[in-house]
Chains A and B, each alone.
Chain A
Amino acid sequence: MATTTAQTGQSTGAAAPFPPFNADTFASQLFWLALCFIFLLVMMWKVALPRIGGIIDNRLQRISGDLAEAAALKGQSDDAIAAYEKALADARARAQAIANETRDKQAAEADLTRKRLEDELNVKLADAEKTIAATKTAAMSNVRGIAADATKAIVERLIGKAPSDSAVDAAVADTLKR
């Protein structure tokens, strides 16, 4: 196996230079380093890094897309919830209104009925009062007649002579007034 002459000093003693400072090897090392490093640089630049960068970008886009979609869906569900709550509130309000209306109507009807009944009762009451008054008047006039007859009879018996009708009427009226 061929070795650079300066490296054969290993066996002979101190003559060999320290390998990293052995200038005889520099040309080969630089040549292969340049070749390998330029190959690596080109492979990384043109193939590997665009590919890995593409994978990472793709993932980021996918994640941000998913997040945007999730946000949009959340917005939709929020809207749906808001619409549902609005409908619920509307329905409640309408139910309240209908209940109020019905209650008012029924109260009005009840009032009307009550008023009509009251009026009827009042009329009946007035009629009854009138009847009572008429009956009373009639009764009173009857009382007066009876009293006058009785008075005339009593006085006729006492004094044997019938008093005049006018005097008896006046006396009865005078007594009834007390």
Chain B
Amino acid sequence: MADPIKQFEIVDLFPIARIGNTDIAFTNSAAFMVLAVGGITTFLLATTRRREVVPGRMQSIAELSYEFVANTLQTTAGKEGMKFFPFVFSLFMFILIANLIGLIPYAFTITSHIVVTLALSMSVFLTVLIYGFWKNGLHFFNLFVPKGVPLYILPLIVFIEVLSFISRPVSHSVRLFANLLAGHITLKVFAGFITLLGGLGIAGIIGATLPLALVVAFFALELLVAFLQAYVFAILTCIYINDAIHPGH
């Protein structure tokens, strides 16, 4: 049976540079990152090239993605949040396309690596932290002090608020990473059953239809998860950005 973990292996295609003790190489992960970013950029620029007032199907998709993210950001973080629109849009599209490309058989799933999702969530966390302090100064600490809480439990509340704030990048990144990892392992395990049973003769081939049906059903679910996790990541980013803009509870 094929190893369900093998799909997550990073393979160096060719080395690029060596900084100190660490090798920087062009890997399969890097290739799919380039593919995702190139695909997004090419698609959005090619479909909007003619700037039609009455959009065709492809231009509609580009506009739809724009308006979807813009509405999400505006309803969550208000008009001021639109400053971060390029950032949120890039995050959403990058994760969505990376997730969808990962569902193609033999493709590598960039977002199934914790270091990638953690880097993305840390970029959100640092953006919130830096912009929050730059815009609000020390008033940013109001984020940790809810109004109308009795004084004697305030230290406990502040402690919990600070803890939850610090743990945000972890939950933000692990949610995406774990969903993608678990989904791809499940798909691979069921797919492995098909080949395993298929090798056992007629009865095995008949028996293999059950995992095959499961793989089909699970693939549909994974398509939903691919979109949903990108959306969840984007909307949490919007909520965190809203905290940076309006730190009062």
Contact = CB atoms under 8 A, between A and B. Distances in A.
B177 interface: yes
Contacts of B90: 37, 40-41, 44-45
A47 B94 contact: no
Nearest to B31: A32
Contact of A28 (B29, B114, B181): B29
A39 interface: yes
B200 interface: no
B12 A28 contact: yes
A14 B32 CA distance: 28
Nearest to A34: B119
A45 B90 CA distance: 9
A29 B116 contact: yes
Contacts of A30: 115, 119
Q: How large is the interface on A (under 10, 10 to 19, 20 to 34, 35 or more residues)?
A: 35 or more
Interface stretch (A16-24, A119-127, A140-148, A167-175): A16-24
B25 A28 contact: yes
Contacts of B48: 48, 51-52, 55
Given A19-B8, A28-B27, A28-B29, A33 B86 contact: no
B159 interface: no
B241 interface: no
A54 interface: yes
Nearest to B43: A48
Please tell me the size bucket of the interface on B.
35 or more
Contacts of B22: 27
Given A36-B33, A44-B90, A56-B63, A28 B23 contact: yes
Contacts of A39: 37, 41
Contact of B53 (A28, A29, A47, A62): A62
B10 A22 contact: yes
A113 interface: no
28 contacts: A2-B12, A2-B14, A2-B25, A4-B12, A10-B9, A19-B113, A20-B115, A22-B10, A26-B115, A27-B24, A29-B10, A29-B27, A29-B30, A30-B119, A33-B110, A33-B116, A36-B30, A37-B94, A37-B120, A40-B37, A40-B93, A43-B41, A51-B45, A53-B66, A55-B52, A55-B59, A55-B63, A58-B51
Interface of A: 1-4, 7, 10, 18-22, 25-34, 36-37, 39-41, 43-45, 47-49, 51-56, 58-59, 62
